[in-house]
Amino acid sequence: PSGISDTMAVSARDRRFMAAAIRLARWHEGRTGSNPSVATLIVREIDGAPVIVGRGVTAIGGRPHAEPQALAEAGELARGATAYVTLEPCAHHGRTPPCAEALVASGVTRVVAAATDPDERVSGRGYAILRAAGIEVEEGVLAREAERDLAGYLKRRTSNRAHVTLKLAVSANGMIGRRDGRQVAITGEIARHQVHALRARSDVILIGVGTAINDDPELTCRLPGLEDRSPVRLVLDTQLRLPAGSRLVATARDVPLWIATAAAPDDPRRAELAELGVEFLACDAHDGRIALPELLEDIAARGLSTVFVEGGADVARTFLAEDLVDRLILLTGEGSVDGDAVNAPVTRTTIPEAFRLVASMTYGTDQMDEYERA
């Protein structure tokens, strides 16, 4: 007797392998279309030690699912093994047979799961199939951790709207830029790379047309190895002011560019931009601003789950005021922006009460704080 009871040892092991599965699921985050990126590990005892004999992550594009890939790698070794799944295995005949049935057929005797799948075709049915076949099922292991990564998918499934992350880069004196529009660097290079990585994990990057005109950004992901991972770029442009000569429009053939607008369907600028590859989301506007809740529903209806809001100040303020921010990423630089500067809608000392701090990192002289709506 080691002093540790069997059940304690087992649950520590379960958490360890589930943590590994959650990390594996991140590999394809943002690249599985409307499907969430989830992972499966098949683990069995070999010579008294647990060994991973199969691993799978939802394939790019969303299929095949994680489970059949992990089971294929494990082969006969799956018999009597434990499967770790970050999301409840599916129970429906979609474009692939149900993963719950694949697990039953493989001979695994135990399934450890993190998050339950709210998809109405699954939602407890996956677990029921496993249990009916005599498989021992442990639900909810590291559920919170898995749910943080699946937040976009879960939000779309449970609220029919896209999940919103707002990113703000704030100077030490609480500013986000200059009023004259001249660009200032608030954070350093490492933080900038982190932002590119965050973009790559999102389905949509959103900015206001003011920022689009002023900064003329490209909003693609320019990190080595992630160049092919540029999400849809979406511009809020009530009156269709985005210049046809902007970098965004110039790259619309390579990386999707959508414009949310209230401009009339027969507005001639639409045809001009459409010709260049731009797509339009017809929106309602109130007081000259695109109606955001409806827009987020529209995005979800198109199968996209996560929106990364990058500015400017007005757009950020509106998302916050309308309580539409699910996750807030605050980068705080070391320098000050002097002169005629734009106040940040929030700073580290004025975070709205609804948010709680979930992570803090230091990148050189920059600080990155991540908050979630409780």
List interacting residues with Zn ion (CB under 5 A): 65, 90, 99
Decide which of Zn ion, ligand AOF, none touches 94; Cβ closer than 5 to 8 Å per partner kind. Answer: ligand AOF
Q: Binding string, 20-39, against ligand AOF, x = CB under 6 A? A: ---------------xx-x-
Minimum gap (Å) between residue 364 Cβ and Zn ion: 42
300: amino acid identity, one letter? A
CA distance 100 to 132: 11
Residue 67 within binding range of ligand AOF, rule CB under 6 A:
yes
Nearer to ligand AOF, 111 or 283 (CB): 111
Degrees (nearest 5) of the Cα angle 316, 368, 299?
Answer: 40
Q: What's the angle, vertex CA 165, arms to CA 162 and CA 171, rounded to 5?
A: 160
Nearer to ligand AOF, 57 or 232 (CB): 57
Please report whether residue 58 would count as binding ligand AOF according to CB under 6 A.
Answer: yes
Q: Residue 122 binds which entry of Zn ion, ligand AOF, none, with Cβ cut-offs from 5 to 8 Å by kind?
A: ligand AOF
* Shortest distance (Å) from residue 112 CB to ligand AOF: 14
Q: What is the DSSP string of 187-208?
A: S-HHHHHHHHHHHHT-SEEEEE
- Does 62 interact with ligand AOF (rule: CB under 6 A)? yes
Closest approach, Cβ 63 to Zn ion, in A, equals 9
Number of H helices, E strands in the chain: 12, 18
Q: Active-site residue 310, yes or no?
A: no
Q: Does 54 engage in binding with ligand AOF (CB under 6 A)? A: no
Q: In angstroms, how far is the first alpha carbon of the chain from the final one? A: 42
Stretch touching ligand AOF by CB under 6 A, among 94-102, 143-151, 285-293, 307-315: 94-102
Taking CB under 6 A as the rule, does residue 117 contact ligand AOF? Answer: yes
In Å, how far are 284, 288, 343 from 168, measured between CA atoms?
26, 23, 11
Amino acid letter for position 293: P
For residue 310, state whether it binds ligand AOF (rule: CB under 6 A).
Answer: no
Q: Which residues contact 45 (CB under 8 A, 6 or more apart)?
A: 51
Taking CB under 6 A as the rule, does residue 220 contact ligand AOF?
Answer: no
Question: Least distance in Å: CB of 35 to ligand AOF?
Answer: 4
- Is there a contact between 331 and 170 (Cβ–Cβ < 8 Å)? yes
- The residue nearest ligand AOF at its CB is 94
Question: Letter for the amino acid at 302?
Answer: R
DSSP 160: S
| Distance in Å, CB of 76 to ligand AOF, minimum | 22
Is 17:43 a contact under the CB 8 Å cutoff? yes
CA distance 65 to 279: 30
As annotated, the active-site residues are 67
Site of interaction with ligand AOF (CB under 6 A): 35-36, 38, 58, 62-63, 65-67, 87, 89-90, 94-96, 99, 117, 119, 122
